Amino acid sequence: KYERGYFTPPVKSTKWMEKEYIDAPPTWCSVDLRDGNQALIIPMSLEEKLEYFQLLVDVGFKEIEVGFPAASETEYAFLRALIEQNLIPDDVTIQVLTQSRDHIIEKTFEALRGAKKAVVHLYNSTSVAQREQVFRKTEEEIIKIAVSGAKLVQKYAEKTEGNFQFQYSPESFTGTEMEFALEICNRVLDVWQPSENNKVIINLPATVSMSMPHVYASQIEYMIDHLHYSDNVIVSLHPHNDRGTGVADAELGMLAGAKRVEGTLFGNGERTGNVDIVTLALNMYSHGIDPKLNFEKLPEIKKIYERLTRMQVSQRHPYGGELVFTAFSGSHQDAIAKGMNYKEEKPESKWSVPYLLIDPKDIGREYEGDIIRINSQSGKGGIGYILKQHYGLELPLEMRESFGYAVKDVSDKNHQELQPAQIHDIFTENYVNI
Ligand code: KIV
Ligand code: ZN
């Protein structure tokens, strides 16, 4: 029952483990419109995809995988609309996915006509499970699929006007023996022969996340150390979240040397999703690194995301969830209120308010309503904070305790969160109308 899965043991490494954090943001590639979209109960319509594309551009993505144009009419029409209506900013590169099959590659390039530039993303499955169960092919036969696809992509790129960069993914990389993953990537690289002006992306997906993050990171390091043409290869991460470690996989993978990350907003994607770029980017921000993505209006981004994907962002979702900056409990509220006062007194000090990793205002979260909320767990500090913020009332020390109990009592009896107006009513009933 607990037999070990197919992942290979970590390649021994300590090189990256000594680093404290990532030095610089990676190149971000959004796969919302492809991996994210293909996992939705109702995939986005053409109009919805257009709106979502604009959202990604506004957030600051410079690489956006727009779909699998040979897979459906909507995907094809969407790509055509982007090109024909001139909707792709000059500093944004679109990316398209293709399987390694002749007619699919042909259709992909047909869909790309008129594009100024694009990344053409070729993939085939390489894992032991897929080779044995799905394709029933030998290693050499699987390599042949990748190599013939790479040649065809190159041939069509030469025939088609535009600037094309190539990307290869050994799909199900994490279920593949490292030696075989390396061999197949190198055979593809030998076809494409990357150079300074023609870099190739090797994307190493945790299609299914199967191991602890340090194992994935060691696999990434192994590939970086042994890939051909390594100076001209961009190693890219594509973690899924099956073990709930997508973010950790990406962070450790970057420490191991990867310079590019594919993921989605709020981690939408197949099964448990792709790695959540909002969390990854804001984790960097919390370490003092500019992630080069703009989440200053995160609540608005969340609203658009929820409307277009018909998915809900969990209330506990890092940074974006409704409750993630909220304190109900008395001691937390007290510490936050004191921390906020301290920050007001010393505005030049670094952000270090207890319990709040970053200043919620930096991502468009409001103090009122987002941070201190009152229920039966709350304390006099938080209750006093609400009265002061909303009504300018500062209670004398002797009153705070008894008023705190009065408010908690009402919340406890009614089993209800209390809004500022209700707290004010309790204040009036207890201390004004007597
Ligand atoms: O998860 C995956 O392996 C993919 C590939 C197509 C890159 O989405
Ligand atoms: Zn994927």
> Any idea which ligand is nearest the CA of 99?
1
Name the band, by pLDDT with cuts 50, 70 and 90, for residue 5.
low
Sign of CA dihedral 240, 242, 246, 252: negative
> Does the pLDDT at position 385 exceed 90?
no
Question: Does the CB atom of residue 249 touch ligand 1 within 6 A?
Answer: no
Q: How far apart are CA 191 and CA 199, in angstroms?
A: 13
Nearest CA to ligand 1 atom 8: 35
Q: Among 169, 172, 173, 201, which is best to mutate for testing ligand 1, by the most ligand atoms less than 8 A from CB?
A: 169
How far is residue 208 from each of residues 125, 138, 162, 203, 297, measured CA to CA in Å? 12, 22, 34, 14, 32
Q: What is the mean pLDDT of residues 237-256?
A: 97
Q: How far apart are CA 360 and CA 358, in angstroms?
A: 6
Q: b or e along 409-430 (b: 16 or more beta carbons within 10 Å of the residue's beta carbon)?
A: ebbeeeeeebebebbbebbeee
Over its C-alpha atoms, the chain yields an Rg (Å, rounded) of 26
How far is residue 202 from each of residues 89, 99, 247, measured CA to CA in Å? 25, 15, 20
Q: Which residue has the tokens 């993630």?
A: 324
Confidence at residue 433, expressed as pLDDT on a 0 to 100 scale: 60
Q: What is the mean pLDDT of residues 122-130?
A: 96
> Does the pLDDT at position 434 exceed 60?
no
Confidence at residue 8, expressed as pLDDT on a 0 to 100 scale: 64
Q: Take residue 124 and report the two structure tokens written for it.
A: 């085939």
Q: How far apart are CA 51 and CA 53, in angstroms?
A: 5
> Binding site residues, as ranges?
35, 238, 240, 274
> Does the pLDDT at position 3 exceed 70?
no
How far is residue 354 from each of residues 341, 351, 384, measured CA to CA in Å? 12, 9, 18
Instruction: Write the pLDDT tens digit of every residue in 85-113.
Output: 999 999 999 999 999 999 999 999 999 99
Is residue 246 within 8 A of residue 211, CB to CB? The reply is no
Name the band, by pLDDT with cuts 50, 70 and 90, for residue 370.
confident
Question: Does the CB atom of residue 123 touch ligand 1 within 6 A?
Answer: yes
Question: Does the CB atom of residue 263 touch ligand 1 within 6 A?
Answer: no
> Any idea which ligand is nearest the CA of 209?
1
Confidence at residue 1, expressed as pLDDT on a 0 to 100 scale: 57
> Does the pLDDT at position 4 exceed 70?
no
Tell me if ipTM is over 0.95.
yes
> Any idea which ligand is nearest the CA of 175?
1
- Closest ligand 1 atom to residue 31 Cα is 8
> Any idea which ligand is nearest the CA of 176?
1
Is residue 215 within 8 A of residue 7, CB to CB? The reply is yes
In percent, the amount of the chain with pLDDT more than 70 equals 97
Q: Which of 255-259, 271-275, 385-389 has the lowest mean pLDDT?
A: 385-389
Question: Does the CB atom of residue 65 touch ligand 1 within 6 A?
Answer: no
Question: Does the CB atom of residue 222 touch ligand 1 within 6 A?
Answer: no
Q: What is the mean pLDDT of residues 134-143?
A: 97
N-terminal to C-terminal alpha carbon distance within the chain: 70
Question: Does the CB atom of residue 238 touch ligand 1 within 6 A?
Answer: yes
Is residue 6 within 8 A of residue 175, CB to CB? The reply is yes
Instruction: Write the pLDDT tens digit of every residue in 408-427.
Output: 999 999 999 999 999 999 99
Question: Does the CB atom of residue 207 touch ligand 1 within 6 A?
Answer: yes
Confidence at residue 310, expressed as pLDDT on a 0 to 100 scale: 98
Q: Mean pLDDT for the chain?
A: 95
Q: Which residue has the tokens 């990256």?
A: 16
- CA of residue 207 to ligand 1 center, whole Å: 6
% helix / strand / coil in the chain, to the nearest 5? 45, 15, 40
Q: Take residue 150 and report the two structure tokens written for it.
A: 């790479």
What contacts 24+ positions apart, CB below 8 Å, involve 320-327? Answer: 320/266, 320/278, 325/356, 325/360, 325/365, 325/370, 325/371, 326/370, 326/371, 326/372, 326/373, 327/355, 327/371, 327/372, 327/373, 327/382
Sign of CA dihedral 338, 344, 347, 351: positive
- Closest ligand 1 atom to residue 203 Cα is 7
Confidence at residue 389, expressed as pLDDT on a 0 to 100 scale: 87
Find, among 166, 237, 155, 245, the residue nearest to 204 by Cα.
237
Find, among 185, 267, 177, the residue nearest to 226 by Cα.
185
Q: What is the DSSP string of 345-383?
A: H-TTSPP--TT-SS-GGGGT--SBTTTB-BSTT--HHHH
Instruction: Write the pLDDT tens digit of every residue in 156-215.
Output: 999 999 999 999 999 999 999 999 999 999 999 999 999 999 999 999 999 999 999 999
Question: Does the CB atom of residue 268 touch ligand 1 within 6 A?
Answer: no
Confidence at residue 16, expressed as pLDDT on a 0 to 100 scale: 81
Question: Does the CB atom of residue 99 touch ligand 1 within 6 A?
Answer: no
Sign of CA dihedral 398, 402, 405, 409: negative
> Binding site residues for Mg(2+), as ranges?
35, 238, 240, 274
Q: How far apart are CA 283 and CA 105, in angstroms?
A: 38
Nearest CA to ligand 1 atom 1: 207
Question: Does the CB atom of residue 173 touch ligand 1 within 6 A?
Answer: no
CB atoms within 10 A of CB 85: 9
Is residue 40 within 8 A of residue 311, CB to CB? The reply is yes
Confidence at residue 14, expressed as pLDDT on a 0 to 100 scale: 73
Confidence at residue 342, expressed as pLDDT on a 0 to 100 scale: 94
Pairing of strands 163-171, 233-239: unpaired
- Closest ligand 1 atom to residue 169 Cα is 7
Q: How far apart are CA 345 and CA 350, in angstroms?
A: 12
> Does the pLDDT at position 299 exceed 80?
yes
- CA of residue 176 to ligand 1 center, whole Å: 14
- CA of residue 171 to ligand 1 center, whole Å: 5
